[in-house]
Structure 1
Amino acid sequence: MAKWECYCKKADFKGLAARYGVDQVTARVMVNRDIPEKAMGKFLSPTPRDLHSPLLMKDLERAAETIFELIHQNKKIRIFGDYDGDGICSSYILYDGMRALGADVDYQLPDRIKDGYGLNDSMVERAAGDGVDVIVTCDNGIAASDAVQLAGDKGMTVIVTDHHAIPFSTPEDDGETLKYPPEADTEQGVWDFCRDGKIYHLPHASCVVDPHRADDSYPFPEICGAVVAFKLITQLFCIEGKGRDAMKYLPEAAFATVTDIMELKDENRAIVKLGLKRMAEGENIGLTALIKAAGLDKNNIKSWHIGFVLGPCFNASGRIDSAEKALSLLIETDKEKAEEKAEELVELNEKRKSMTQKGVEYAFDKLSGEDRIPDVIVLYLPELHESLCGLVAGKLKEHFYRPTFVLCRTEGGDVKGSGRSIEGYSMYEKMVEANEAYGGDGVFTKFGGHPMAAGLSMREDDIGWLRDFLNQHSGLSGDDLEQKLMIDVPMPLYYVSIPLIGDLAKLEPYGNGNEKPVFAENGLSVISYRKIGREQQYRKLTLLSRDVAVDALYFGNGEQMDSDIEEAFGASELDRALAGQKNRIKLDISYDPDINEYNGVKSIQAKIKNYRVRL
């Protein structure tokens, strides 16, 4: 059960509301999200002017100039992306953009099972055999030093664009740091540098564009691979004298930003808000077809739809089939063919859902035999399909609120896995720490990622060592492992109005870093209580808030809610509520307000996020 806490930030909410034309509740939420007062106008109404210049990213201008020159030399270019939503969108932006500039360009996305993550030697060998002159990576490459070196040895120009953490090592003594400059200079062949006591190692590429470079001063590095690609194409278009044309890729950049769970702050918020608006115009036939196949209205697409409906269709193609099917959909210009491809992606996602559910049940079954759940979960499920490791890790992380690694055995007998983290635990840095502590070539044969997510390959015999090391050096306290539910405003249901809900919509798009506002009220009486859903798994309640009856929906575990109420008040009281009779049940709820429209009549309803029985 999450610990409920209420934001207690102070500000002149009345003054802010008047200044920006919003309700005081909306102003309070912006303050809770740490939006500076001077930035609130941009937060509410972002424009293309709020996007940072591509020229602020290290190596990007030279990368664009190099590619532009190579295009006009008719050099053969191959784009290497990744098999997730971000990698697919990144590849599309670069491929379509370069093709518009007349490039001789093709692409390859890795097969998750055969190739694994990122550029590798076999992909480079294949490119060399195909006569490729130039390799451009997107959403990968920063950790592919060996493959980049091989490509260079074969005479290819390599340009890396990525957004993942830069590989680094920890010096043995202060003297070692003096051997390295404070920043890299890829043009002069200087790829290793020292910052903040760490020695960073860039791949030996002609240009390395990654906002997470410690020697980069880009204003907002927390962007996805597709936004890095969007910045590169924007600069290429600027060289051609048609920079504004790059804005056509805003929907794909927005799509990737949400699917890769980037924080919706700074320019990410502008990209997503502007991208969603442009998505409704239907410029990309494939994306429009997917929206239709998923049963959605293209004029009412929210970030939630991308994160939980559309994005998973892209990811499913890379998990259980080929990511190039999703990329093919984005490239498609024939409406009928696009609709066929979109339907196939939706079907693949349904299959993926079934596989994921079985994998989650498998994981919970394995953990049920544990005496206690460790601070860091390292779970080996040999028979799990390797494409599901990240999804299962995410489910376990949500349930137990622990950093979680899920590992499986590959067809070749090695071990692969994915990790998902919690606030306060930098997964990538802990993996670096473990790799160095192991000695030799390290405990991982391959790894990379972010503070909140990571991927890895390793030897089966070392799983026990890794599990012990990560738990002995987790650095996590009991408070870190207690999930917190932050309440924006303790607002009673009777206060909610349709105009207020409309005003709160100005805070969209919601997502990581800009969560949907959560409100709460304690001690609500239950007028009625019903089981709903195809399998009667959800609950619909009518609650009484200062003599105002308000409907509320709970899409969590309905059986658990029944059990909690029965334990607190008795089976007879639950039966009375189910019959719509007067009862003694009282609940505290956290919720977000919504509008229900039926036969043209609008009414307020609450979506219950969490609840507590009140004795």
Structure 2
Amino acid sequence: MKLPNQRWDVISPNPEKIQLLAEEMKISDLIVKVILNRGIDTSSLARIYLNPNEEILPPPLAEFPDLYKSISLLTRAIKEKSKIAICGDYDADGMTSTSLLLRALKYFGGDIHYKIPDRIKDGYGINTQIVENLAKNGVELILTVDNGISAYDPIQRAVELGVNVIITDHHDIPKKLPPADAILNPKLLSHESPYSGLAGVGVAYILALTLAQTLNKTEGIIASLLELFTLGTIADLAPLIGVNRRWLKQGLKQLPNSQLPGIQALIKVSGISDEQKQLRSDDIGFKLGPRINAVGRIGDPKVAIELLTTDDPELALEKALECEEINNVRKSLCEKIEKEAINLVENTPLNYQEKRVLVVIKDEWHHGVIGIVASRLVERYGVPVFIGTYEENDIEKIRGSARGIPEFDVFNALQYCDDLLDKFGGHKAAGGFGLKRKYLNSFEKRLSEFSHQHLKLHHIKPLIKIDSEINFKDINHNLYETLDSLQPWGIGNAIPIFWTPNVIILKQKIIGDNHLKISLVQNDGEKIEAIAWRFGTYYPLPKQLDIAYKLSKNSWNGKSNIQLEIVGIRLPESINKEFQSTFEFNGRQYICSIKDKILKIKNLQGKTLSIYKGQRKGLLENGYEKIKTIDVTHQPYYTIVKMALHSLKL
């Protein structure tokens, strides 16, 4: 029997806090648990969480020290018709940021251009060659989006060439800031600031919104800016806290009726229902976002930029179909690389549990998708993953991506190896790196050394954080709608996960691409349907289980019902626990135990009788030699079994 090797963390808030907050807010204990588990522990914070628009926001000009200077530089450039160039990035955050500012600055009358670095040739972010080419073409103001905070040398070169630079970024702050004219980065703000969790597109949104207000040109542009902010923020997995959560609630309502042809075309090709009154974060995270991201990973980012900036519905549909085609290629690449990576992990001595880190390197993998595969390997094995492949034109160089687990800091791990790396970057949960092939063994040893300092062996399992135990009778449309009102779900506001013990499987079958469809019942007779994505590997499941799950709504032919999306399964403690006892019969001593419904009775002569619960036949063994199958309803076995069960109090 094969089951997922998971660790469950059932979060248990203080009961007094639960009661106090439930009384103050007049909401159920279960919803209070969900709120407390997301770090919301006072009634004032809970009110803002439940109604984000009630929070009084400080004006961005008061929070970002360089925002006024940025507005002044842009206002002057627009007025003087100076050439402005946006230098973006090839991920969804970078491309939506670029599109947002292209739309805004064009609307405000700016002479605006853009440059997205080539993933293979240029790598991430602005570089000196890009700066020199832009200056050569008469650019007087460079505006970075979703990059630039670590680009000291390129920015210094821009200064030498007399080009003004505004950096808008959200990545970690380096020891030495670049000599830009203005820097907008939420990492420079207090952690308490409601703007501290902005992604790159959020910083671009703040800049464009403030510029629109300064120029008194808000009409006709604000809605489209909010929609691009929504698309980029969720696709970039930004924390859904502070202004992110507030603005996303508005943006998700707007998106189904978007006036942007590109977003309407993207919604159409991704198969999102026309009947949805508002989009959910999953619609962007699993449908719209991947189609944008795929273009930057394995295609030409210009496709996505044209999609999001055009006002021509026909061109928008053409570009959306290109995104769809590229995304299908991306999915095939991911599946192929994931299978090859799993084969390497499970059929070669990588010893990731012993090393407490998984390093997987193979040639001819696509640089653009290995980060996605790294995330899937983390989900599968629950271990920090560093995955890489050799450069296309230089097999002596490796480029890779890293993904972590909650107890592991990817950026600190890369810093621990900095003398072995040509380049690296990232944050706690994810990063990228490059190194020479000759340093690979040393890199693996150093990462393992770092991992042993921060991880225990029990950490090397996929973690499921659970909000509360509930019964099937508690699950209804009212609970689902109440939970759904707490959307959007994502980083910093995780979708609630519940668990129910000792459920019985009535039916189970494999459907689609290795998924399980399951009918479940509790002891009190309450039944419910469930789906377990990618759990076909564990078919057939045992008859009795503990399950961890999310709630979802399944709509079909005008009818809807609440179903479970299973994320975790384990044997119930009552099944998995082993009970032992001793007794005497006819002057002989016996040791008896029961585990996984199997009763074992041993005597001091080394003989063992094994009987599965409910069976008449048992197996009598002597060491490793099978002696015979016997009927335990016959004497003396019947009495021996009865005495064993009595001894075990069963």
**What TM bracket, shorter-length normalisation?**
0.7 to 0.9
Paired residues of 2:379 and 2:462 also in contact (CA < 8 A): no
CA shift for structure 1 position 493: 0.7
1:422 aligned counterpart, secondary structure: coil
Is it true that 1:501 corresponds to 2:506 in the alignment?
Answer: no
Q: Which residues of 2 match residues 70-469 of structure 1 at below 5 A?
A: 70-167=77-174, 200-213=175-188, 218-242=193-217, 246=222, 248-297=224-273, 299-368=277-346, 369-370=348-349, 372-373=351-352, 374-413=355-394, 414-435=397-418, 438=419, 443-469=420-446
Q: How far is the alpha carbon of 1:92 from its aligned partner?
A: 1.2
Distance of 1:269 and 1:85 partners within structure 2: 18
User: Against the structure 1 CA distance between its residues 500 and 14, is the aligned structure 2 distance closer, same or farther, given a 3 Å change threshold?
Assistant: farther
Mapped contact 2:190–2:196 kept (Cα < 8 A): no
- Superimposed CA distance per residue, residues 580-602 of structure 1 (whole angstroms, 9 cap, x where no aligned partner): xxxxx211111223333444444
Bigger Cα Rg? 2
Q: Which runs of 5+ in 1 are unaligned?
A: 168-199, 566-584
Separation (CA, whole Å) in 1 of partners of 2:497 and 2:521:
17
Letter in 2 for 1:146: D
Closer/same/farther in 2, CA of residues 535 and 422 from structure 1, 3 Å limit: closer
Taking a change above 3 Å as real, the CA distance of residues 339 and 214 of structure 1, as seen in their structure-2 partners, is: closer
Post-superposition offset of 1:338:
0.9
Do the aligned residues in 1 keep the contact of 2:57 with 2:194 (CA within 8 Å)?
no
- State which of 45, 52, 55 in structure 2 corresponds to 1:39: 45
More displaced stretch, 500-509 vs 352-361: 500-509
Contact 1:81 1:90 in 2 (8 A): yes
The answer to whether the Cα contact below 8 Å between 1:50 and 1:267 also exists between their aligned partners in 2 is no
Asked whether 1:3 is paired with 2:10, we answer no
Deviation for aligned residue 1:325: 0.7
Whole-angstrom distance in 2 between the partners of 1:246 and 1:603: 37
Name the stretch that deviates more: 49-58 or 283-292.
49-58
Contact kept, 8 Å, 2:385 with 2:403, in 1: the verdict is yes
Contact 1:25 1:489 in 2 (8 A): yes
Distance 1:604 1:163, change over 3 A: closer
Q: Residues 405 and 393 (structure 1 numbering): CA distance in 2 closer, same or farther, change over 3 Å?
A: same
Instruction: Kindly indicate whether the alpha-carbon contact (under 8 Å) linking 2:378 and 2:462 is maintained by their aligned counterparts in 1.
Output: no
Taking the aligned partners of 1:293 and 1:206, their CA distance within structure 2 comes to 42
Question: By how many angstroms is 1:481 displaced?
Answer: 3.4
Deviation at 1:532, TM superposition (A): 4.1
Secondary structure, aligned partner of 2:480: helix
**1:54/1:61 contact within 8 Å kept:** no
In structure 2, what is the equivalent of residue 523 of structure 1?
502
For residue 450 of structure 2, the aligned residue among 473, 481, 485 is: 473
Count, aligned residues: 556
User: Against the structure 1 CA distance between its residues 291 and 22, is the aligned structure 2 distance closer, same or farther, given a 3 Å change threshold?
Assistant: farther
2: CA distance between counterparts of 1:250 and 1:318?
Answer: 22
State how far apart, in whole Å, the 2-side matches of 1:592 and 1:411 are.
42
Equivalent-residue separation in structure 1 for 2:213 and 2:55 (angstroms) = 15
Partner deviation per Cα, 1:518-567 (whole Å, 9 max, x = no partner): 111111122x21314235642322323512222222223223141x52xx
* CA distance 1:430–1:599, shift in 2 (3 Å): closer
Deviations 1:263-291 (A, max 9, x none): 21222211221111121221222011101
CA distance in 1, matches of 2:10, 2:211: 47
Structure 1 277/70 Cα, relative in aligned 2: closer, same or farther at 3 Å?
A: same
Give the Cα–Cα distance (whole angstroms) in 2 for the partners of residues 506 and 60 of structure 1: 34
Tell me the SS of whatever aligns to 1:399.
helix
The letter for the 2-side match of 1:277 is K
Whether 1:593 and 2:538 are equivalent positions in the alignment is no
Q: Which has the higher contact order (CA 8 A, sep 6+)?
A: 1
Q: TM-score, normalised by structure 2?
A: 0.81
* Alpha-carbon distance in 2 for matches of 1:261, 1:605: 26
Tell me the equivalent position of 2:59. Answer: 53
- The change in CA–CA distance for 1:149 and 1:12 in structure 2 (over 3 A counts) is closer
Task: Check whether the contact 2:416–2:446 (CA below 8 A) recurs between aligned residues.
Answer: no
1:380 counterpart letter in structure 2 = I
Which has the higher mean CA deviation after the structures are superposed, 604-613 or 251-260?
A: 604-613
Residue 120 of structure 1 deviates from its aligned partner by: 1.2
Q: Structure 2 vs 1, CA of residues 552 and 217 (structure 1 numbering), >3 Å: closer, same or farther?
A: closer
Q: After the TM superposition, which residues 539-558 of structure 1 pair with which residues of structure 2 at under 5 Å, given as runs?
A: 539-558=517-536
Per the TM alignment, residue 123 of structure 1 is displaced from its structure 2 partner at its CA by 1.4
Q: Identity rate of aligned residues, in percent?
A: 31
Residue 76 of structure 1 and its aligned partner are, at CA, apart by 0.3
Partner SS, residue 485 of structure 2: helix
Whole-Å separation in 2 of the counterparts to 1:535 and 1:307: 20
**Residue 541 of structure 1 aligns to a residue in which SS?**
strand
Instruction: Give the Cα–Cα distance (whole angstroms) in 2 for the partners of residues 393 and 52 of structure 1.
Output: 39
Task: Say if 2:48 and 2:54, in contact at 8 Å, map to a contact too.
Answer: no
Deviations, residues 375-422 of structure 1 (Å, cap 9, x unaligned): 222322222111122112112222222222212112231322111112
Alignment partner of 1:30: what SS? helix
Task: Give the Cα separation in 1 of the matches to 2:108 and 2:34.
Answer: 44
Give, in whole Å, the separation in 2 of the partners of 1:283 and 1:18. 43
Q: Is the 8 A contact 1:163 1:224 kept in 2?
A: yes
1:612 aligns with 2:618: no
- 1: CA distance between counterparts of 2:517 and 2:446? 43
Q: Distance in 2 between matches of 1:66 and 1:599?
A: 56
Q: Is the contact between residue 77 and residue 135 of structure 1 (CA under 8 Å) also seen in structure 2?
A: yes
Comparing 417-426 with 479-488, greater Cα deviation is found at 479-488
Residues 384 and 587 of structure 1: CA distance in aligned 2, closer, same or farther (over 3 Å): same
Contact 2:169 2:185 in 1 (8 A): yes
2:134 partner amino acid: A
Q: Is the 8 A contact 1:410 1:416 kept in 2?
A: yes
Equivalent AA in structure 2 for residue 150 of structure 1: R
Deviates more, 1:48-57 or 1:375-384: 48-57
Higher strand share: 2
1:173 matched residue in structure 2 = none
Verify the 8 A CA contact 1:490 1:519 in the aligned structure 2. yes
Q: In the aligned structure 1, how far is the partner of 2:412 from the partner of 2:198?
A: 19
Corresponding position: 1:30 with 2:13: no
TM-score (norm 1): 0.86
1: CA distance between counterparts of 2:384 and 2:64? 32
Q: What is the CA-CA distance between 1:300 and the residue it aligns to?
A: 3.6
Structure 1 residues 451 and 243, CA, compared in 2 at 3 Å: closer, same or farther? Answer: farther
Q: Deviations over 1:12-69 (max 9, x none)?
A: 5466456546443222211121113212222222229655532202322211212211
Which segment is superposed worse, 516-525 or 240-249? 240-249
RMSD of aligned alpha carbons: 2.2
Q: Distance in 2 between matches of 1:399 and 1:392?
A: 10
Distance 2:172 2:58 in 1: 21
2-structure distance, mates of 1:77, 1:371? 50
